[in-house]
Chain A
Amino acid sequence: MSTLNTAVAQEMDKSDEAELPAGESRPAETVIEEGATVGAPYADDPKFKLRDVEVFYGEDRAIKNISLDIARNEVIAFIGPSGCGKSTFLRCLNRMNDSIDICRVKGSLQLDDQDLYDPKRDVVELRARVGMVFQKPNPFPKSIYDNVAYGPRIHGLANRKSDLDDIVESSLRKAGLWEEVKDRLDATATGMSGGQQQRLCIARAIAVSPEVVLMDEPCSALDPIATAKVEELIAELSESYTIVIVTHSMQQAARVSHRTAYFHLGHLVEVNDTNKVFTSPEHELTESYITGRFG
């Protein structure tokens, strides 16, 4: 277990360090009041209702008292400088942090008015409802077909081979990959290009028909063309799914999301309609971030 944890932690560290340009320092401490989020963090009849969320890595308090609603069928983007806790917060939403021993989550997190961290809650069922796409494309070293069919198989969603075939086809179609791979479904997935792999991972995530798809910097390892394809895909998916996307690209946030949440050092500084955040941010930290003064 320990290696997995440190590996994950290291991966996070690495991406954090890499994206802070050399010679640039974080701005002088602006005092942020805990839990005082500017803008419109709440929504009516939310999909996720998150209140006073705190996350600890051992003694380290990574998320400080965040309250946020995520509405149904919206695309919400989490932005913020590296190490601000947006990935950690995202991973709370399907309890991916569970596998990290030293990680503790406090506060109230509800999906459709049911507590996420209820000890009686089945995390397998939760993850079938809240799918996830990771930063690096991580297809299984199996065939393309088996990658997509894996989720439906373990959840028993298809009784017959033809049903499974249908699910695989429709998922690949939704992910915009069907035309490219329909003739080589038996080929191994790891032989595809990075962009194709990431779209395969999205197809794999939506094959179990989740209600929410979490995306943790899904385009950071992709070239602009593949990125454009994935963004198009997000726009299409937003019709039927709730999507939470963490991104370092503000243009991407502006292009794909309805609402944008700005994180800073574990605080949720500002949440507003994407247009508003990028044209007239209310908080000075948000403004300096989106105008590129740091980050």
Chain B
Amino acid sequence: MTDQLSQAELVRKSLKRRYRKERRFRAYGIAAIAIALSALVVLFADIVGKGATGFMKTTLDLQVELDGEMMYLDDATDERQLKMADFVEPLVQALLKEIPSATESDRDAVADLINPYASVTLRDALKENPEWLNTTRSMSFLAHTDVDVYVKHAGDDAYSIKLSQQQQRWVDQLVEKGIVETSFNDTFFKNGDSRDPSKAGILGAIIGSLLTMIVTLALSFPIGVAAAIYLEEFAPQNKLTDFIEVNINNLAAVPSIIFGLLGLAVFINLFGMPRSVPVVGGLVLTLMTLPTIIISSRAAIKSVPPSIREAAEGIGASKMQVVLHHVLPLAMPGMLTGSIIGMAQALGETAPLLLIGMVAFIVDVPEGFFDSATVLPVQVFLWAGSPELAFIERASAAIMVLLAFLIGMNALAIWLRKRLERRW
């Protein structure tokens, strides 16, 4: 009896110790998650804080008097005249009218508030509507980048304000009158890259990324899955397949820039493919993604329970039928998840694309797989390295767009897995 009691006592004591240990262990886990989460929160807060203004643009709403004499233009349908005409003067005059304190001698200082591309906007508008000549129109133009920076970041030490004291006063007046306005930056989503931050957009990079991803997916998924099926189901178990397996695992760990060098040497120098095009980018990223897809597909195939194969073989299904009818459908969710994660990796990849020339400054939005293009992460890289401070918010905004794409792809992966998963 005493023996039993003391044993119960011992158990109780050890229980206490065990529970303490358990609580401590749980605390470590919670601390680890808290650190990871706070890092994530800081990252997102910083990016959003810096980039939110990148989604806003500053515009000037002006009553423009389209005086033909002032513009040296008497026929707005004449291409030659349109080329020679002066589209800056009407803008400057319209702005001068809104700033009573400015005189004709302040003309240059006032002109500096208008975006250099505003005149192009005006010309295009006239080209489309020749009948506007000699009328007064209410139109909206992009403000100069310096105005944009001043309006958004007046009190911020990180930005240097390039406007003079006098110009700043004018802008303050214009803001009060409602002439200078900030609104959603549709230019950012409609344009390609530009030297002028207020005109720079990411449409070119988005399309470039899309084209590159299409090439990558179209090549890496079928090749990766086929390789995984062969290695897992058909390949004989020997030294050669062991060697291949080790090397595939090694490839997954090779720094991505090496794949860029390979792409440069093989696709561009040897095969003579053009530089900076989505096809070559896609090929390089395919090489980079393949090991990931092969490894995850093999894991998915391995996780198909052997009893299902036996059942199919026992009925007399051929090897191919076992694979196609039973193994593949069961492994598909895993394969897709792996592939999408590989694609997300490829979408965020910069280094290998630098080497094949996708880092070039490209203004035009690419229209095909053989058009020069850049991709989202490279665009971020380009803008982040730009000396012009106004590009920083553009870079942050581009990061947010990139993150949105990545989150979308991961959500798709989860949805597909849930959708295709079959239980047994």
Give A contacts to B, CB under 8 Å.
1-4, 7-8, 11, 94, 96, 99, 101, 124-128, 131-134, 136, 138-141, 150-151, 154-155, 190, 201, 204-205, 208
Contacts and interface: CB of A to CB of B under 8 A. Distances in A.
B317 interface: yes
Contacts of B330: 141
Contacts of A7: 306
Given A4-B306, A140-B312, 19 more contacts: A1-B237, A4-B309, A96-B313, A99-B309, A101-B237, A124-B316, A127-B313, A134-B310, A134-B314, A138-B310, A138-B311, A139-B424, A140-B326, A141-B423, A150-B317, A151-B316, A204-B315, A208-B315, A208-B316
Contact of B316 (A133, A134, A155): A155
Contacts of A134: 307, 310-311, 314
Interface in B314-338: 314-318, 321, 325-326, 330
A12 to B, nearest CB: 12
B314 A124 contact: no
Contact of A3 (B302, B310, B314): B302
B112 interface: no
Contact of B237 (A2, A126, A201): A2
A255 to B, nearest CB: 25
A141 B314 contact: no
Given A1-B232, A4-B306, A101-B237, A140 B316 contact: no
B154 interface: no
Nearest to A207: B315
Nearest to B422: A141
Interface size class of chain B, counting residues whose CB lies under 8 Å from the partner chain: 20 to 34
B315 to A, nearest CB: 4
A124 B311 contact: no
A7 B304 CA distance: 11
A186 to B, nearest CB: 15
B360 to A, nearest CB: 47
Contacts of B308: 138, 140-141
19 contacts: A3-B306, A4-B306, A7-B306, A8-B310, A96-B310, A124-B318, A125-B316, A126-B316, A127-B315, A127-B316, A128-B315, A133-B314, A134-B314, A138-B305, A139-B424, A140-B308, A140-B311, A150-B315, A204-B315
B233 interface: yes
A139 B306 contact: no
B231 to A, nearest CB: 9
A140 B305 CA distance: 11
Contact of B423 (A190, A204, A208): A190
A201 B311 contact: yes
Nearest to B321: A154
Contacts of B318: 124, 154
Contacts of A8: 306, 310
Contact of A136 (B307, B315, B423): B307
A192 to B, nearest CB: 11
Nearest to A10: B306
Given A3-B302, A4-B306, A141-B424, A154 B237 contact: no
Contacts of A125: 316
Contacts of B306: 3-4, 7-8, 11
A205 B307 contact: no
A59 to B, nearest CB: 17
B307 A138 contact: yes
A170 B147 CA distance: 84
A163 B313 CA distance: 23
Query: Which one of A96, A127, A140, A155 has the greatest number of beta carbons of chain B within 10 Å?
Result: A140
A96 B314 contact: yes
A262 B318 CA distance: 33
A256 to B, nearest CB: 20
> Can you list the 3 inter-chain pairs with the closest CB atoms, starting with the nearest?
A127-B316, A132-B314, A138-B307
Nearest to A128: B316
B315 A139 contact: no
Contacts of B237: 1-2, 101
A47 to B, nearest CB: 18
A190 B424 CA distance: 5
Contacts of A154: 315-318, 321, 325
Contacts of B326: 140
A94 B314 contact: yes
Contacts of A2: 237
Contacts of B235: 1
Given A1-B237, A2-B237, A136-B307, A131 B423 contact: no
B314 A205 contact: yes
